[in-house]
Amino acid sequence: MNINEKLATIQVEFKSKKSRFNSFGKYYFRSAEDILEATKPFLKELGVTVVITEELINIDQVPVLQTTATLSDLEASISATAIVGVDMNQKGMQTPQKFGAASSYGKKYALGNLFLIDDTQDSDATNNHGNNGNIAKITAKKTKKNKLTLTSPAFDKAREYLKAGGKLETIKKKYEMTQDTEDQLTMNTAHGNE
């Protein structure tokens, strides 16, 4: 089994409970420690190791940590990275705590990126941040398709995409358009290919 197959095995079979509770936001979440604990059975079974490294990549206005999670066997390795800013204005924390919080967050998301951990039910998805239940409305707005018109800059990009062999269905999944816009798009593309 190569490193890609080993990673795919972990990605498919990975299970980790959200054992931590945030009493302020009223949600459960999974920590980096929870993720690492859940990967331990795979280490010996698949003959792999997991290593996490961190690097301070920016110290200008906002310190930024780059965290890399690497899965390795004797022949190869695969890595995933997360970039996290350190909130130096966080009240009630000393500097080491601010860096520690950013470090924990970075580790969690680097591991999540590596193992394809879906955190849709984590704090960012469930905490309404004072919106009093308006999360459904906010989410609905985010999922609404952009409108493609003859005058929008995306129209030319869509036309070029079709000329290059792209599929109209792909564009329709991303954009809402009138029949006239669709006709103009396909007509322009057909003339461009002649």
- pLDDT tens digits, residue range 142-190? 445 678 788 877 787 788 778 877 788 878 877 788 888 888 878 756 5
| 187 and 116 both lie in a single domain | no
Q: Assess whether 130 and 155 both reside in one domain.
A: no
Same domain membership, residue 76 and residue 134: yes
Among 16-25, 141-150, 185-194, name the one with the lowest average pLDDT.
185-194
Does residue 10 share a domain with residue 86? yes
Tally of domains in the chain: 2
Whole-angstrom Cα distance, residue 189 to residue 194?
A: 9
Number of residues assigned to the chain: 194
> Buried b / exposed e across 168-180, counting CB within 10 Å, b at 16+?
eeebeeebebeee
| Same domain (yes/no): 61, 15 | yes
For residue 157, the enclosing domain spans: 145-192
Single out the residue of 154, 143, 186, 155 nearest to residue 168, CA to CA: 186
Q: Are residues 108 and 170 in the same domain?
A: no
Q: Within this chain, do residues 10 and 40 fall inside the same structural domain, yes or no? A: yes
Residue 20 to residue 23: CA distance in whole angstroms: 10
Q: What integer is the mean pLDDT of 70-86? A: 94
